[in-house]
Amino acid sequence: MSARIFEIKRFAVHDGDGIRTTVFFKGCPLKCVWCHNPEGIDFKPELAYYENKCINCGECIRVCPNNAHTIEKGVHIFNRKKCTGCGNCEEVCLGNALTLYGEEVTEDELLPKLLEDKEFYENSNGGVTLSGGECLMQSDFCAELLKKLKENGINTAVDTCGFVPQQAIDKVIPYTDVFLYDMKAYDEDIHIKCTGYSNKLILENIKYIDSCNKAIEVRIPYVPDYNSDQIEKIAVFLKDLNNLTKVRILPYHNYAGSKYTSLAKKNTLPTQLPTDSEMEDARTILRKYGLKVVE
């Protein structure tokens, strides 16, 4: 069995407790306007071209089987329609201007890499986190990988947007120690505005996970003018969950602009950033409802 991933991040400290290795799976069902991982949205492999890094060495032209790269009048031209995502050009690019997002991996290839830092996990109460994109779009692979991690005594976390069938959650529940659950909005119309889709399934799934007595850490991205008026409504909803361990409110940032450009995707990132005062006010609202808020 194989899956498509776009990054493995070692020594991660923001994707669950302790020191962790996070595996980012390709493909996401939502289209959040503030997405900071645009390379994880589409399931297919994508070649990113960072024009400012190109040194016009011409190595990509030499190895591309589809003539997707040319240099015209000293300018590197990349024809995405011809690119099949083989990755040949990334391997030879001397300026590191080309990055292929979307690698096919098997469990046998991935597991040894995740076990390399087992000593760090044990010493820091850390482990392995599956993220994305949306990792549960490839739930069969996730379930098998999580099972093997548990057999090796590794703490496991699943970072999910919750917009997946309940069957996908059922596959991973036996092997997941904690769910890192994204909450973008409580009102359905606001959620549609922010992500393109209803949140009914997302609300149902977090209640289902809670009923299965699984630990849940909720993560709320705070984006001014988009979901900033949703914090209290989310808090009212969350206060009735029995297995909610903590809530983390994440200040929106717009660092991903260059990624959108490199992938020739429309940049939907909002321009307004939250202030420190806004973030503290949001935390105060959450604490008012007895929620454990961490930064």
CATH number for 116: 3.20.20.70
- Domains held by the chain: number: 2
Q: What does pTM read for this prediction?
A: 0.94
Q: Answer yes or no: do 113 and 91 share one domain.
A: no
Q: Answer yes or no: do 163 and 248 share one domain.
A: yes
CB 106 within 8 A of CB 145: no
Any idea what the CATH number is for the domain that residue 66 is in? Answer: 3.30.70.20
Which tens digit of pLDDT belongs to each residue from 2-34?
A: 999 999 999 999 999 999 999 999 999 999 999
User: Domain limits at 60?
Assistant: 46-101
Q: Answer yes or no: do 192 and 254 share one domain.
A: yes
Q: Answer yes or no: do 94 and 199 share one domain.
A: no
Q: Answer yes or no: do 39 and 81 share one domain.
A: no
The total of other beta-carbon atoms located within 10 Å of residue 200's CB is 11
Last residue of a domain, one of 101, 116, 141: 101
Which tens digit of pLDDT belongs to each residue from 153-197?
A: 999 999 999 999 999 999 999 999 999 999 999 999 999 999 999
Band the pLDDT of 63: cuts 50, 70, 90.
Answer: very high
CB 273 within 8 A of CB 223: no
Query: What's the mean pLDDT when you consider all of the chain?
Result: 97
Measured between alpha carbons, how far is 261 from 182 in angstroms, rounded to an integer?
Answer: 26
Q: Both ends of the chain: CA-CA distance in Å?
A: 37
Band the pLDDT of 48: cuts 50, 70, 90.
Answer: very high
Please provide the DSSP assignment of the chain as one string: -EEEEEEEEEEESSSSSSSEEEEEES--S---TT-S-GGGTSSS-EEEE-GGG-----HHHHH-TT--EEEETTEEEE-GGG-----HHHHH-TT--EEEE-EEEEHHHHHHHHHTTHHHHHHHT-EEEEEES-GGGGHHHHHHHHHHHHHTT-EEEEEE-S-S-HHHHHHHGGG-SEEEEE---SSHHHHHHHHSS-SHHHHHHHHHHHHTT-EEEEEEEE-TTTTTT-HHHHHHHHTT-SSEEEEEEEE---TTHHHHHHTT------SPPPPHHHHHHHHHHHHHTT--EE-
Q: What is the reported pLDDT for 266?
A: 96
Q: Answer yes or no: do 32 and 126 share one domain.
A: yes
Q: Answer yes or no: do 10 and 116 share one domain.
A: yes
Last residue of a domain, one of 77, 101, 125: 101
pLDDT of 295 above 90: no
Q: Answer yes or no: do 167 and 70 share one domain.
A: no
Report which of 6, 2, 4, 24 is spatially closest to residue 15, judged by C-alpha positions.
24
Which tens digit of pLDDT belongs to each residue from 97-125?
A: 999 999 999 999 999 999 999 999 999 99
Tokens of 197: 């889709």
Q: Answer yes or no: do 61 and 207 share one domain.
A: no
Tokens of 201: 């399934």
Q: Answer yes or no: do 52 and 32 share one domain.
A: no
Average pLDDT, stretch 242-265? 96
Q: Answer yes or no: do 77 and 197 share one domain.
A: no
Q: Answer yes or no: do 64 and 204 share one domain.
A: no
Average pLDDT, stretch 70-99? 95
